[in-house]
Structure 1
Amino acid sequence: MDKRTLFDKFHRVDTNISSVGEDLKEIQEKMNHLIEENATLQIENQHLRDRIEYMTKEIVPNLEESEPEMSKSRQNLQKLYEDGFHVCNVYFGTRRIHDESCVFCLDVIYGEREQQS
């Protein structure tokens, strides 16, 4: 092998190694950035979990206490609705296709009604 060919091969190998080194440095910088971002997100996620736990303990029991209990007739309508049947006056007794929600049924079950005296 002559000196020129050897020098050209050495130069190509050196260029390739330099390129790989630059790629590795770029990947390492991105990896460091991702690790830092992941750590930040884990901390933020833990803070949010703590906040949700606090709110669940403090607020939800208060809401449950303030909600009036559903009457027996509405509980029966809710059971029929959960079994897949309409309970509204529009589609009463027909089966709900693919258990889709029905605004009319939900209003009948959970809607606010005026007390009739």
Structure 2
Amino acid sequence: MSEHGNPSNIYDRFAQVTKQTHDLVANMEQLQAQVTELMETNAELSIENDHLRTMLKKMHQQKHDDDHLSGSRENLKKLYQQGFHVCSEYFGKRLEQNESCTFCLDTIFGHDQPTIK
């Protein structure tokens, strides 16, 4: 009888294939668990990323709003650009050519300083 026809040999081969199949199924279950874990982590990170983007946009918008001049300061800036002092020291006087005035710039762009007690 040939090797392939021997019933014990066939049974051994069948047992070996069955074991390999069980091992393969166990490996696939482990991979499935890892994929599930990675997908959950990815979903959590995507949500966190979206939240951080939203916060960054809000922070950027607030910074942009803070840098924006009020209407009255815009008017002072235009007067200054036309060559007039807007500071309380020299208000309305003409600036010399290529002259700049720190007091005017502070009046236009300066922020309210908190008072020291």
Where does the alignment leave 5 or more consecutive residues of structure 1 unmatched? 66-114
RMSD: 1.8
Write the distance in 1 (CA, Å) between the matches of 2:43 and 2:68: 36
Write the distance in 1 (CA, Å) between the matches of 2:17 and 2:24: 10
Cα offset, 1:63, TM superposition = 3.9
Matching residue of 1:49? 53
Matching residue of 1:40? 44
Write the distance in 2 (CA, Å) between the matches of 1:60 and 1:18: 62
Write the distance in 1 (CA, Å) between the matches of 2:13 and 2:28: 22
Runs of 4+ residues over 3 Å off in structure 1: none
Cα offset, 1:64, TM superposition = 6.1
Identity %: 24
Where does the alignment leave 5 or more consecutive residues of structure 2 unmatched? 70-101, 103-117
Q: Deviations over 1:15-68 (max 9, x none)?
A: 100010000000000000000000000000000000001011112331465xxx
Larger Rg: 2
Write the distance in 1 (CA, Å) between the matches of 2:26 and 2:67: 59
Matching residue of 1:3? 7
Name the count of aligned residue pairs.
67
Q: Deviations over 1:70-113 (max 9, x none)?
A: xxxxxxxxxxxxxxxxxxxxxxxxxxxxxxxxxxxxxxxxxxxx
Tell me the SS of whatever aligns to 1:59. helix
